[in-house]
């Protein structure tokens, strides 16, 4: 088979690859316009569904439903939003949180949302030789006596993977779902081109690992 035929065959394999991954967590930051500092004590007194223990954590923990999300709210007006499964739900979640805060008698305005990280989990549907991957893949680190997965940093698109011998993966460091898809496809292509797949049954002791 010629080099061109090999390239066409590889492209066909990439197209037929069953992309299997889902978003587990979307993390964002929120900034708002305030006068001075947020009165966290006042918010905690007027919103019974929040958690505030300044001796343990300097911010308020606020949880909302539909979309389900958790907010960490600080006196500076800065917030962190986590727990979302879709980035497009961030604006709706922030609007609900702002409404609650205003309902506690706090003046805030102009909320600005920025997605900073997306965590996804997936399955390459092949067993991976992590020992060989450590040698053949750049920016890879594998210390099985410390952690059963290989840490692999893709430079373009910039992302970080945890790769397990069963083919299970966790992707982080991306800021949108499309970039996550591109990163997973690139990882699959590299593993196939470097011949890093193993027969079924390899390192089966890790097949039942569950990631949160």
* Gap between the Cα atoms of 162 and 183, Å rounded: 12
Domains and CATH numbers, the chain: 27-116 (3.30.310.10), 124-195 (3.30.310.10)
The mean pLDDT value for 166-177 works out to 95
Compute and round to an integer the Cα radius of gyration of the chain: 22
- At residue 67, the pLDDT reads 94
- At residue 198, the pLDDT reads 80
The mean pLDDT value for 144-161 works out to 96
* pLDDT tens digits, 52-75: 999 999 999 999 999 999 999 999
The mean pLDDT value for 76-84 works out to 96
DSSP 91: H
> Comparing 15-19, 173-177, 192-196, which segment has the lowest mean pLDDT?
15-19
* pLDDT tens digits, 25-57: 999 999 999 989 999 999 999 998 899 999 999
Which DSSP helix (H) or strand (E) runs through 66? none
Tokens in use for 158? 């910039």
pLDDT at 208 over 50: no
At 12, the pLDDT band (50, 70, 90 cuts) reads: very low
Contact present, 28 and 78 (Cβ < 8 Å): no
* Gap between the Cα atoms of 174 and 156, Å rounded: 11
* Beta-carbon contacts of residue 202 (< 8 Å; ≥ 6 apart): 127, 129, 165
pLDDT at 212 over 60: no
Average pLDDT, the chain: 87
* Gap between the Cα atoms of 83 and 178, Å rounded: 19
- At residue 19, the pLDDT reads 77
- At residue 200, the pLDDT reads 55
Neighbours of 62 (CB within 10 A): 23
- At residue 205, the pLDDT reads 42
Distance of CA 178 to the CA centre of its chain: 13
* pLDDT tens digits, 92-140: 999 999 999 999 999 999 999 999 999 999 999 999 999 999 999 999 9
Contact present, 169 and 184 (Cβ < 8 Å): yes
């Amino acid at each position: 088979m010629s080099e061109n035929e090999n390239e066409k065959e590889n492209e066909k394999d990439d197209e037929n690859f069953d992309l299997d991954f889902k978003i587990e967590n979307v993390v964002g930051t929120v900034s708002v316009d305030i006068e001075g500092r947020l009165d966290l004590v006042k918010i905690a007194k007027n919103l019974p569904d929040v958690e505030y223990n300044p001796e343990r954590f300097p911010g308020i923990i606020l949880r909302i439903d539909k979309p389900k999300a958790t907010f960490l709210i600080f006196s500076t007006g800065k917030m962190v939003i986590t727990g979302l499964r879709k980035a497009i739900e961030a604006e709706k979640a922030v609007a609900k949180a702002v409404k609650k805060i205003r309902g506690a008698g706090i003046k805030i305005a102009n909320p600005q949302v920025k997605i900073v990280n997306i965590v996804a989990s997936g399955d390459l549907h092949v067993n991976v030789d992590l020992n060989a991957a450590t040698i053949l893949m750049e920016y890879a680190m594998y210390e099985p006596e410390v952690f059963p997965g290989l840490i692999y940093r893709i430079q373009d698109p910039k992302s970080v993977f945890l790769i397990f011998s069963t083919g299970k993966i966790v992707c982080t460091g991306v800021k949108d779902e499309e970039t996550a898809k591109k990163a997973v496809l690139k990882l699959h292509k590299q593993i196939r081109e470097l011949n890093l797949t193993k027969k079924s049954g390899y390192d089966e002791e890790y097949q039942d690992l569950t990631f949160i």
